Amino acid sequence: MRFPWRGYVNQLTHAADLRHRVDDEFVERVADELIRQRFFTLPVADYHWAATAALGSGERIAGEQDDEDATRDFLARLVRELDDRGPWPEPPYSTSGAGEWAALRDAPVVARVPLTDRQIEASLSRVFAEAGDVRVLILRLRTGQQLALRASHPFTEPGVDLVTHGDPVSTVAAFVELTGIEAEA
């Protein structure tokens, strides 16, 4: 039987050595990463729900090499840590699917990012999607602005266009502030 929480729990426990109980510092680091949403790219609430559902399921949670009690202990402490840190802040940016490209395809180029798309992917922990003859990464900034990063040349060549229908100056400024990636207007 498949459990809807399993994939989330696998992500949470993937980098942990759960053959024995983990320390508080590790639990706090995982909570930090969930809230920052850099490596765990889905909403914190999804992971919180999954950990809570797994703990209440009565099913085995631990991976083959992991200790069940240590895994349950880690998830229970993580849930408590997240509860203590609530309400969680909105992440600096989120991604939209490539289906949003149609709405941005005709938007003007307002800046150029002097990196390759692979460097941007590594920095944002998000991936570009194929959209016809270009690769795009659609972002919605915490400010509400939507933009697309458009790469139309080989992966190894720097220079990715930033396009938006929004105000160019404020969108570029928010992009730089919220992603930490420089853009040239």
Contact between residue 55 and residue 75 where contact means Cβ atoms under 8 Å apart = yes
Provide the pLDDT confidence category of residue 1 given band limits of 50, 70 and 90: low
Whole-angstrom Cα distance, residue 157 to residue 151?
Answer: 9
Average the pLDDT over 39-63 and give the result.
93
pLDDT of residue 149: 97
Whole-angstrom Cα distance, residue 72 to residue 94?
Answer: 30
Whole-angstrom Cα distance, residue 46 to residue 43?
Answer: 6
Neighbouring CB atoms inside 10 A of 32's CB total: 12
Domain boundaries, the chain: 6-85, 93-179
22 phi and psi angles, rounded to 5 deg: -85, 160
Q: Residue 6: CB partners within 8 Å, gap ≥ 6?
A: 54
Whole-angstrom Cα distance, residue 125 to residue 141?
Answer: 15
The candidate with the shortest Cα–Cα distance to 97, out of 70, 59, 126, is 126
What predicted TM-score, i.e. pTM, was given to this entire model? Answer: 0.74
Hunting for tokens 């402490």 — which residue is that?
77
Please give the helix or strand (H or E) that residue 140 lies within, else none: strand 134-141
Is the pLDDT reported for residue 12 higher than 60?
yes
Could you tell me where the beta strands, DSSP code E, fall in 25-117? 93-96, 109-113
Provide the pLDDT confidence category of residue 10 given band limits of 50, 70 and 90: very high
Is the pLDDT reported for residue 178 higher than 70?
yes
Q: How confident is the prediction for the chain on average, in pLDDT?
A: 92
**Residue 87: is the preceding peptide bond cis (ω within 30°)?**
yes
Spell 91-119 as b/e; 16+ CB within 10 A means b: bbbbbbebebbeebeebeebbebebbbee
Average the pLDDT over 145-163 and give the result.
89
The candidate with the shortest Cα–Cα distance to 116, out of 147, 172, 161, 146, is 161
Express each pLDDT in 99-121 by its tens digit: 899 999 999 999 999 999 999 99
Contact between residue 104 and residue 134 where contact means Cβ atoms under 8 Å apart = no
Beta bridge partners of 134: 131
Q: What percent of the chain has pLDDT over 70?
A: 99
